[in-house]
Structure 1
Amino acid sequence: MEITLDRPPEGAAADWTIDQNWDRFTAQEHAVWDTLFERQAKLLPGRASRAWLRGLDVLRLSRPGIPDFRELSDRLMAATGWQVVAVPGLVPDAVFFDHLANRRFVAGNFIRRADQLDYLQEPDVFHDVFGHVPMLADPVFADYMQAYGQGGLRSLDFGALHKLARLYWYTVEFGLVREDGDLRIYGSGIVSSHGESLFALDDPSPNRIGFDLRRVMRTRYRIDDYQQSYFVIPSFEELLHRTLETDFAPLYAELEGLDDLDPETVLADDRVITRGTQAYALAKRRI
């Protein structure tokens, strides 16, 4: 989470939150949301996890236009005790973790332009709300996100944020789950991306590897392209259990003595579901 500010910008509260000012969004900005929503809503049935699809229904995100965070938070609070708060952009790590630990999800307060539908490096309101919020309506995943925030605050004392960030990346952002023998998407970076919603499940290029906490926290990732490996959890209950039952302090110490792994690496003891060809990554390197 690279930022340049060390204090809240003008107009933001001490916790970096701002008023969403929903009325300021233009018709063109609402139209971008609707375009993105319609495209993904058609694509994701049969691809997204049941929990994500249920969350989309519970939160009534099919209503046209960028959601009003006050109404969205009312429904989310009733479901799992979470709320969505607007922030001006990326926030400091400690602020981010504190919000998660207190069941508040921070969302960007801008939306990409119409010519940026397929890629945007900084998360916008579509990524944050369409991608993340449906999973927060699932009680088990909602508890996992709170546990992650609490663990994130502790990680700052161990200088281990870069290790813990990989857990967030390969679960919350780019995770896959097995349901009834099939792989399904739940990571927000996938469900909010048309291209990666197809790539993550259908393309022969990436590895798909059974989730292991230590393995994930050793694995580097890329922020500017499709993933070269995806990690598959057996269930959200198992993900929460592994997180709550792990003593992270000795794990951080153990990981310091192990080499980091490149995103495309496959280890001999990995539970490989699909060993990728890496054709996509190799082709990009030739460009």
Structure 2
Amino acid sequence: MGQTPVVYGQSSRPPRGDYSRAADDYTCAQNYAAYTAADHDTYRRLYERQSALLPGLASDAFIEALPSLGIKDHIPRFEEINERLYRATRWEIVAVPGLIPEVPFFTLLANRKFPVTDWIRTPAEFDYIVEPDVFHDLFGHVPLLFNPVFADYVQRYGEGGLKAQRLGACEMLSRLYWYTIEFGLIRQADGLRAYGAGILSSSGELAYSVRSPEPQRLPLQLERTMRTRYKIDTYQQTYFVIDSFDELFHLTADDFTPLYERLRGLPEFAADERSPA
């Protein structure tokens, strides 16, 4: 019993979380009794602020799915969400102490289990936190797991991750996760919208990603995405845009082995490197 934390991306901040609670698969029980009144109030205020920002910035699919998350005035119990989520898409959420290694992460996703960090940020981190907490994971990730096409994409990503690990290609595939599930944009009939959890749970990056003239926004293309590095402690300077979740699902239908082999010989793009117009 007990595991060690991990770090992804480029950051000077060490991870946190009580990994001594983690089982071999890095899951643990949601320590619900540990939440204080202040913790529940932090969650309520975060939910209230973020949900008010969604119109005109978040994807329609996310806005439609958000009520499925349930209560919004305190941290929900994971088992209550799972009752609805499993009925909708056969997914469930499981508690983890924080970021977990690639193989346990991919294995959980491949089995339609989404890892959710069970601790919440401090009031001093209300506006920004580097690593995911329970608000980021629940508010940002879980609503779209009620969407059947997106939920199937996340499972397919997990299955692909296990294969990438065997091929030594996890870093390339992790960039696809970062630029879709965490920081993806979608083009709707009425304009650009966010669907990535890292954007949807951030009060500042939500408007920045959709409206700011500063970052570049590129059509999602597997090769460009997998060659692009990322940072975890700044707003993104590059976003990748899809037209539908069906597009995302079908993009990942093929065997990536030839793609990985081709990319090994190509230079990478910095997180802020511009593509020619």
Identity %: 49
1:260 matches 2:265: no
CA distance in 2, matches of 1:82, 1:11: 23
1:17 matches 2:22: no
Deviation at 1:263, TM superposition (A): 2.3
Give 2:168's match in structure 1, choosing from 153, 159, 172.
159
Counterpart for residue 90 of structure 1: 99
1:238 matches 2:247: yes
CA distance in 2, matches of 1:267, 1:225: 20
Structure 1 runs of 4+ with >6 Å offset? none
1:148 matches 2:157: yes
Question: Structure 1 unaligned runs (5+)?
Answer: 273-287
Give 1:251's match in structure 2, choosing from 252, 259, 264.
259
Contact 2:47 2:72 in 1 (8 A): no
1:103 matches 2:112: yes
Give the SS at the match of 1:225.
coil
Deviation at 1:130, TM superposition (A): 0.5
Question: Structure 2 unaligned runs (5+)?
Answer: 1-5, 9-13
CA distance in 1, matches of 2:20, 2:178: 30
Report how many aligned residue pairs link the two structures. Answer: 265
Deviation at 1:50, TM superposition (A): 1.2
Deviation at 1:181, TM superposition (A): 4.5
Deviation at 1:15, TM superposition (A): 1.5
TM-score, normalising length: structure 1: 0.88
CA distance in 1, matches of 2:109, 2:235: 26
Correspondence list, 1:70-219, <5 A = 70-219=79-228
RMSD: 1.7
Give the SS at the match of 2:240.
strand
Could you give the per-residue CA deviations for residues 24-69 of structure 1, whole angstroms, max 9, x where no partner exists? 2111000000111110010012211111112102232x43101110
CA distance in 2, matches of 1:167, 1:225: 18
CA distance in 2, matches of 1:58, 1:248: 34
CA distance in 1, matches of 2:128, 2:19: 26
Could you give the per-residue CA deviations for residues 68-123 of structure 1, whole angstroms, max 9, x where no partner exists? 10001111111111111101122121000000000000011100011101211121
Give 1:63's match in structure 2, choosing from 44, 55, 72.
72
CA distance in 2, matches of 1:22, 1:263: 37
